[in-house]
Homo-oligomer: A and B are copies of this chain.
Amino acid sequence: MRQDRGHEDIRLPLASGSRRIHGSVARDLGVAILGGRYMPGDVLPGEIEFSEQLKVSRTAYREAIRILSAKGLVESRPRTGTRVSQRSRWNLLDPDILAWTFESEPSETFIRDLFELRMIVEPAAAALAAERRSGLDLARMGHALEEMGRHGLSTDDGRAADQAFHTAILEAARNGPLIALSSSIAAAVTWTTIFKHRRQGMPRDPMPDHRALYEAIVAGDPEAARRTMTELVRLALADTELALRP
């Protein structure tokens, strides 16, 4: 719905493209749970009742529940029913969970926590990237930077380029689990950027910090990469805090 289908097969064939019923139900329930409509410990209505209420078959409803269960949002047992799990069980870094969280306006605390995580992971990743980057990595970063400069962060293309830049850095770090974090964090970065621009106009030219970071990685200087990435995230956080309390 929100995703223009023109570029669909280039990037993010995300859950939004999936118009299957089980996917839609999972998304709706997921958004409801993450938005606090159902609280941890709450018991959902029985399968038959709820699926009728949602106007879908029991089969489709059950498949939706399996999806939520796989992401740690709910647990179901015979006789007891299906209940919302404790927050500590939620897979908060799952890409879908993150997307659903941002469907209903997320709490200020959550956004701060995400930035805290970025502040931990991304500088370290940038340092690793400076040591391990290949020519192809540098080319991808350079291209993304160029696109970003051309479009700015107020367009979809520009934000996609920003995301591609951060993804390229994390992938250059050559660490599988770290790359798994990348899709989550990069996506979150994009959403917070959208937030920023929704609340205020264009806050600040992001290009200088990005270029400095790029130069450090090109130079193969881990400490400079760490330092510039730290600064970049710090500035992004400052902008976001401004947007959060206007």
Which residues of A approach B to under 8 Å, CB–CB? 22, 26, 59, 62-63, 66-67, 69-72, 87-96, 109-110, 113-114, 116-117, 120-121, 124-125, 128, 171, 175-181, 183
This protein's copies in its complex: 2
- Chain B proximity of A137: nearest CB distance (Å): 14
For A175, list chain B residues within 8 Å (CB).
113, 116-117
For A114, list chain B residues within 8 Å (CB).
177
- Chain B proximity of A173: nearest CB distance (Å): 9
State A37–B176 Cα separation when bound (angstroms).
Answer: 19
A-B contact pairs, 21 of them (CB 8 A): A26-B70, A63-B63, A66-B66, A66-B67, A67-B67, A67-B70, A70-B70, A70-B71, A89-B183, A90-B180, A91-B94, A92-B176, A92-B179, A92-B180, A110-B176, A117-B177, A120-B120, A120-B121, A120-B124, A120-B125, A121-B121
